[in-house]
């Protein structure tokens, strides 16, 4: 694959595909030339880069991997913990370096056992804190495998400052589209979008992240005058934003109700989803 490969923005029925930034561990083909998908079919094997975007008018879809059975009535979430907590840079690097060495602790990794597979973090993000404590955010292009110890990562863009071993720090997260699950009692993890099908564990497919959709609502959603702002509940359904309700006052914003019923009551309700465009 080549960083310089291109994906033409060819609209088919008003839809077009947008490549994410190039990173390792994706479909073994030229980085570009992907045909338009059939969103009514689940993929048993990966056909597009994770995070690939499909735009269809006001709607935006992203390509993802599912790690459980999805419910297309409910939003799904990325339940991976942060892959590497506040850790030291293990080796000095020159100004404008794109390769860094990171100390991985025994409690890091998705299972909290210090194990991170090769390119598991590719497409994820790194935040670097130099001695001045100024944050530098970069996307991760690749990583070596590690089982507690030193791991090498390659970044999307150069780091503008030199880094000092065992002094400067870094934190890492994996690709947020690489491990989507149905919402559970787990109170952590961000909701990423609405699955289009009843995907099962290990399948790949599309989630809607922006634009008009329907999500299973609670009874108060769009039920009267100015009741429009929606938050996401623990189970992936939506509720009205109610600052007097401790259960949802700080919930993740889903979007807003687009249309009420004739009498000003709930209607469908059609919701304009606002997670990622």
d(C-alpha 158, C-alpha 155), whole Å:
7
Q: Given 1.10.10, 2.40.30, 1.10.3470, 2.40.50, which CATH number is that of 84-173?
A: 2.40.30
Name the one residue in this structure whose structure tokens are 């090498």.
152
Task: Read off the pLDDT of residues 49-61 as tens digits, 9 standing for 90 and up.
Answer: 999 999 999 999 9
Name the one residue in this structure whose structure tokens are 């709607």.
59
d(C-alpha 105, C-alpha 13), whole Å:
49
Q: Which ranges in the chain are annotated with CATH 2.40.30? A: 84-173
Give pLDDT, residue 28. Answer: 57
Give pLDDT, residue 104. Answer: 97
d(C-alpha 269, C-alpha 256), whole Å:
10
Does the CA dihedral 202-208-213-214 come out positive or negative?
positive
Query: Of all residues in the chain, what percent are helix, strand and coil, respectively (each to 5)?
Result: 0, 40, 60
Q: Which residues pair with 169 in a beta bridge?
A: 88, 129
d(C-alpha 259, C-alpha 269), whole Å:
6
pLDDT in tens, the chain (277 residues): 444 456 666 677 778 999 888 888 877 554 556 888 999 999 999 999 999 999 999 999 999 999 999 999 999 999 999 999 999 999 999 999 999 999 999 999 999 999 999 999 999 999 999 988 789 999 999 999 999 999 999 999 999 999 999 999 999 999 999 999 998 766 788 999 999 999 999 999 999 999 999 999 998 898 877 888 999 998 999 999 988 887 788 899 999 999 888 877 888 999 999 999 9
């Amino acid at each position: 694959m080549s960083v310089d490969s291109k994906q033409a923005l060819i609209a088919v029925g008003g839809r077009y595909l947008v490549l994410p930034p190039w990173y390792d561990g994706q479909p073994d083909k030229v980085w570009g030339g992907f045909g338009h998908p059939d969103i009514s079919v689940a993929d048993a094997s990966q056909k597009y880069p994770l995070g690939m975007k499909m735009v269809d008018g006001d709607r935006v879809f992203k390509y993802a991997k599912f790690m459980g059975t999805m419910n297309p009535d409910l939003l799904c979430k990325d339940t991976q913990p942060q892959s590497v907590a506040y850790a030291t840079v293990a080796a000095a690097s020159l100004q404008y370096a794109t390769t860094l060495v990171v100390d991985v602790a025994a409690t890091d990794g998705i299972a909290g056992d210090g194990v991170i597979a090769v390119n598991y973090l590719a497409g994820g993000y790194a935040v670097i804190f130099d001695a001045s404590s100024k944050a530098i955010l970069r996307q991760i292009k690749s990583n070596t495998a590690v089982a507690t110890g030193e791991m090498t990562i390659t970044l999307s863009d150069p780091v503008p400052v030199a880094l000092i071993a065992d002094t400067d720090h870094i934190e890492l997260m994996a690709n947020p589209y690489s491990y989507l699950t149905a919402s559970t009692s787990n109170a952590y993890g961000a909701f990423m979008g609405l699955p289009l099908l009843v995907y099962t564990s290990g399948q790949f497919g599309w989630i809607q992240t922006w634009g008009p959709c329907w999500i299973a609502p609670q009874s108060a959603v769009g039920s009267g005058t100015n009741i429009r702002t929606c938050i996401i509940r623990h189970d992936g359904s939506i509720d009205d934003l109610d600052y007097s309700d401790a259960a949802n006052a700080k919930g993740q914003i889903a979007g807003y109700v687009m249309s009420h019923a004739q009498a000003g009551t709930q209607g469908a309700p059609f919701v304009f989803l606002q997670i990622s465009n």
